[in-house]
Structure formats: structure tokens, C-alpha cells
Amino acid sequence: MKSPVMQALIQCQAVKANTSPDKYMGNELDFSIEQGQVIALLGTDIENTNNWLKTLAGVYYPSSGQVTFFGKGSSQFTKADWLKLRKEIAYISKDINLLSMLSGLANVMLAANYHKIANPETVKSNALKLISQMELAELAMLLPVNMTRDQQLLFAIARALMLEPKMLFLEAPLVQFDDQDSFKELIFDKIRHQKMTLVVSTQDAQFIQSYADKVVFVDKDCIISFNNSNEFFMSDNPQIKRIIKKVPTL
Amino acid sequence: MFLLKLPMELSGWLGRLILKPIFYMINMITFSLFALNDWHKNHPLFKRSSYQNIVSQIIFTGIDALPAITFLALVAGFLFTFRLIVMLDTLGGTDNLINILVNVIGLEIGPLISAFILVSRTGSAIVVDIGNMKLHGEIEGLELLAININDYLVTPRLLSCAISQLALTVYFTSITMVVGIVLSSILISSGHLQLLSSLSMAISPMMLVAFVLKNLIFGFFIAATACYHGLSVVKSPTEVPQQTQQAIVNSLIMVFVLDSFLGLALL
């Protein structure tokens, strides 16, 4: 059962992502993301898809059009607004980006302590609670270099969740995991339960079918948004059909 | 045609040669001011928590450097202080001995050798550290968490290096002076031991201000150069050693240039 439509957290009006012209020459995107939705973004070119994801998250400026975040157009944003936005919209890139000199626990506490979300003792106890919920307690004192990619990704998600964001953007998270089912269970089910809005770039059709409320497909010469996953799977677009055919899970 | 173009090309080359270091200095000062401004916005000046990050940097920059600086100070005590005393003793110019020691060892050699250690040890470490962080996307990761890089990474290094440079120079100069004077009193004349008591009298308030300012400026710009070059790494691992080399060379040039200007100002 899909989440009920609430208020638009992000509204795109005639948006074109900040990609090079040889990567994207298509139409503009008119699209909205509401509270509690899970959005899947997929495309033929991963870099192009991630540029669109970054544009939707406010990491990149759009090359044209306007993205409205929480009711305020990005063109009216001040420096303070952008900083506030980065706390409200967590973005985990595919490179993960944990600080290599800090342990897993210190990484998780870092942003919360920097922004003084609570006093350091409370931050530590919250971080430990979150880490144990994510089944990472044994790894808390390890440096990122001693972790696998999927463990690093989980720590990066925990670090972002410590700021209590309204939305979570994940760049190709399923690629990092050998055991994708446990990750889906651990992260997506929990996030869905918390009604957090989730935007994911993925090529995993099974994920799209099980979780996505909306799907956005990006190709070199077009961007198409679908209001539900069924619309996506029923699409006549030859590129989409080709992508669906390639996926072994369907 | 070539002969006609030659003066133009020569003047262009000369212009670029002169402008390059000027623009570099402007970049460095602007970079440092922005970093300080970002730090100041988030940290009240008289709040203890504002200095936690700086203290941990001082431990690395200052305290961890003590063994190396102690050894160098002992050697410099023999190489500079002792030999200076011997030379002046031979020439018969012992009247101004203490003033010469304070000016040469205290105001010149001490700050310069401490600055060399700071450049080679801390400066290079900062470039490699920040450069690798930039390369691995760790800085981008911090920015995505709304963490201000100037506030979190740059300013603590600038301030801690400035404080460490001052502290290390005081430590280095003290050991160098004491070792040289004690050696000369053992090997030449026990009367030289009196120099120790007259040291404090020979330091004028103006000298003290110059000493403190010089060291704070040295430390600050050594760290600023290192952070600037560390953040200049874009995407290739080969850039890290290149930027480290540039930072070390530019820091040393800057230390000498600043020393000359400060020397002129003190005349």
C-alpha cells in the first residue's frame, strides 16, 4: 500500500539538471515529492542520473527552471537557508565519504556534535542506540578503512540520520550490498515505517516494484516521471523496456 | 617581426612574474580572512568550547614536535650561541654581547628554525591530510552535512599553528641561549654565566612585541599556505605531492619575505 499524498516537500518547475549538453538534451522536469514518499530515479547513464538526484536534493543548482524546497524557491535562498536545507535533506553519495581518520562512532556523532543537536553525552547515547539498531555496534570503534563498503554506507546513513533530516537521498545504495535483502529490510522498511521521504537512484526493478511511490526515468534525450511503479513497468518507452529486460530480478 | 615582438613579450613575462606572487599573497590573505570570519560566526571568542578543536591541533603541532625541537635547540645552542660568544669574545666586543644574542638568536634564528620545523612537519602534514580528504570526497561529505570547512578544518589549524609557532620558538630560543651560555661558561670563562641573569634585562617591550607578532604571523601563514594548497587538490592522487611541494616552497619563501618586512619595520 502506497503512502498517502501530503504536502509537497520538493517541487520542480521546468527544471533541467546541471549536466553537460552531451549527457542530456531532453525536456524539462515538472515533478513534486511529498512527505513519506519513496522515489526511485533511474536512467541509462549513472552520472547523468546522479546529477539529476543532486539537483533534486539541492546539492547542484539546476541549469534552468526552479526547484522549491519546503515551500521556498531555491532562487530566494540565502546562505543560511542552504545550510538549513543541508540539515533537512540528507544526501549520501555513492563514494560514501566517511572521515577516514575517525572511528565509525565518531563519524556518526560528528555532524550532530558540530550542529549542537544535543549535549555531547546525549549525542553519544543516541548514536550508540542508532548504531545498535542498524546492527553495527561491534564495528563502532573501527576506522572506515577496516569496514566493508556496505558497513561504511550504513555508518554514513546513521551519520546523516543523527541530524533528523526530513528527506534522505541515496546514490545507488544497492550496488554496495552483497546481501541486498537485508539492507532493504534494515533501511527501507525502517525509513518507511518512520514516514521519512526517501529518494534513491537505482537500477533495481525489484526495489522499484516493492517500494517506489513514484519513478523518474532519465535518458539522454528525455526525462519521464511516473506516478506509480505500475505505470513505469507498463511504459512503452523502448529504453525503459530495455532496462527492465536487463534486470534479472524481474 | 620577432624583434618587434620581443620587448612586448619580455614586458609581459616580467609583468606576470611580478603579479603572480602579489595575486598569490592576496589569495592567501583573502582565504585566511574568510576562514577566520566563518569560525568567528560560529564560535564566541570567550567560550571554552570554541577552542576544543584548536587544543587538539596544538597537541599535534606543538607538543608532538617537542623531541625534534629539543634536539635542534641543543645543537643550535652549540652551533650559534656558543660560537657567537666565542667569536665576540675573540674580537673583544663583549659589551654588546647580550644584545647581539637577543637580536640574532632570539629574534632571527629562533623564529626561523622553529618555522622550518613547522613547515616541514606540520605544513606538509596539513597539505597531505586535507589533500587526501579532498581527493576521497570526505570534504564534500562534510559540506553535505552542512559542516563549514573553514570553521571545522581551516581555522583551527591556522590558530593552533600560530600559537604553536610562538610556544615552540620560546622553548627553542630558551634552550639555545641557555645551552650556549652554559657551554661558554664551562669552556671559556665562568663569567659568561652572568649573561643568563642579564638576558631578561636585555629584552625591551618593543622586542617582546616584535617577537610575539613575528611568530604568530609565521605560524598563521604557514598553516594558511598548507590549507590553501591542500584544498587546491582536485581529483588526481598525483596532485597531493605536487601541492605539498608547492606549499613547502611557498611557505619558506613567505617566511623569509615576512621576516625581511618585519625586520625593516623594526629598524
ipTM: 0.86
* pLDDT value of residue B47: 61
Q: Does A98 touch chain B (CB under 8 A)?
A: yes
Mean pLDDT computed over B237-263: 93
Is the pLDDT at A205 greater than 50, yes or no? yes
Question: Would you kindly state where each structural domain of chain B is located, as residue ranges?
Answer: 66-265
pLDDT more than 70, % of chain B: 96
Is the pLDDT at B103 greater than 80, yes or no? yes
Is the pLDDT at A247 greater than 60, yes or no? no
Q: Do B141 and A100 touch (CB under 8 A)?
A: no
* pLDDT value of residue B93: 62
Is the pLDDT at A243 greater than 90, yes or no? no
Q: Which residues contact A164 (CB under 8 A, 6 or more apart)?
A: A117
Q: Do A100 and B132 touch (CB under 8 A)?
A: yes
CA geometry: angle at B116 spanning B113 and B120, to 5°? 150
Closest CA to A146 of A100, A107, A179, A108: A100
Is the pLDDT at A242 greater than 80, yes or no? no
Where residue B123 falls among pLDDT bands split at 50, 70, 90?
A: very high
Mean pLDDT computed over A36-55: 88
Where residue A20 falls among pLDDT bands split at 50, 70, 90?
A: confident
Is the pLDDT at A248 greater than 60, yes or no? no
Q: Measure CB to CB from residue B147 to each of A93, A101, A114 and give the nearest one.
A: A114
Is the pLDDT at A250 greater than 60, yes or no? no
Is the pLDDT at B50 greater than 70, yes or no? no
- SS3 for B262? helix
Amino acid sitting at position A134:
M
Which chain A residues are closer than 8 Å to B152 by Cβ? 114
- pLDDT tens sequence across B154-185: 999 999 999 999 999 999 999 999 999 999 99
d(CA B225, CA B247): 6
Q: Measure CB to CB from residue B146 to each of A86, A99, A156 and give the nearest one.
A: A86
Q: Does B12 touch chain A (CB under 8 A)?
A: no
Which chain B residues are closer than 8 Å to A83 by Cβ? 146, 148
Domains of chain A: 1-70+167-250 (3.40.50.300), 95-165 (no CATH)
* pLDDT value of residue A4: 47
Mean pLDDT computed over B73-92: 87
- pLDDT tens sequence across A155-195: 999 999 999 999 999 998 877 676 677 777 777 777 777 77
Scored b (16 or more CB within 10 A) or e, A117-153 reads beeeeebbebbbebbeebebeebbeebbeebeebbbb
Which chain B residues are closer than 8 Å to A87 by Cβ? 145-146
d(CA B267, CA B41): 38
Cα separation values, B194 from A96, B55, B77, B87, B185, Å = 64, 38, 17, 18, 9
Phi, psi for residue B93 in degrees, rounded to 5: -95, 50
Which chain B residues are closer than 8 Å to A92 by Cβ? 144
Measured between CA atoms, how close is B243 to chain A, in angstroms? 20
Closest CA to B127 of B245, B11, B21, B13: B245
**Is residue A198 a contact partner of residue A39, using CB atoms and an 8 Å limit?**
yes
Q: What is the mean pLDDT of chain B?
A: 88
- pLDDT tens sequence across A55-111: 999 999 888 889 999 988 888 899 889 999 999 999 998 888 899 999 999 999 999
* pLDDT value of residue A182: 74
Measured between CA atoms, how close is A160 to chain B, in angstroms? 7
Q: Does B132 touch chain A (CB under 8 A)?
A: yes
d(CA B101, CA B199): 9
Q: Which of B47, B50, B128, B144 would best serve as a mutation to test chain A binding (most A beta carbons within 10 A)?
A: B144
